[in-house]
Amino acid sequence: MSVFSLDTNVLIYAIDPSQGEKHRIAQALLEQALTGAWPIALQVLGEFYSATTRKKVLSRANAARTIALWSELMRPCAVSAPGFTHALGYSRRTGAQFWDALILATCAEHGVKRLYTEDFGPQKQALGVVLVNPFARR
């Protein structure tokens, strides 16, 4: 069984209709994540809250309600201390942003095989997780 997860940018596009095609793609992925109870890194939910409230896309109350609902339908996952150390090492070795490395380490730790993300540029795999940009032109 394949296990998938979403990065923060996908969640943000899913709630923002002004993003056009990205919104439609992200909404479809979010629907799959919610119905399939995909794992979701707590880091991703925290970044979603921070970004949407800072940019005033959602009020703090609405962002918190959204995260609470998603947390009931998906499987929130935390990184362990060894996973945190793994993320530090990955970031140091590759130059990846630490917070992105932490999401990857969490995904790897919880058996995620594919992460839908717009981050990481042309990189196709990291820490055993396949990185898929669902918005890239095919």
CA distance linking residue 56 with residue 3, whole number of Å: 32
User: Phi/psi at 127 (nearest 5 deg)?
Assistant: 55, 30
Helix (H, G, I), strand (E, B) or coil at 115: strand
pLDDT of residue 138: 59
pLDDT of residue 2: 65
pTM of the predicted protein model: 0.93
Where residue 112 falls (left for φ over 0; alpha for ψ -120 to 50; beta otherwise) is beta
Question: How would you class 25 by CB atoms within 10 Å of its CB: exposed for 0-12, middle for 13-18, buried for 19 or more?
Answer: middle
**Domains of the chain and any CATH numbers:** 7-132 (3.40.50.1010)
Q: Is the pLDDT of residue 1 over 60?
A: no
CA distance linking residue 74 with residue 57, whole number of Å: 22
pLDDT of residue 91: 95
**Tokens 């917070």 found at:** 99
Mean local confidence (pLDDT), 64-69: 98
Q: What is the DSSP letter of 29?
A: H
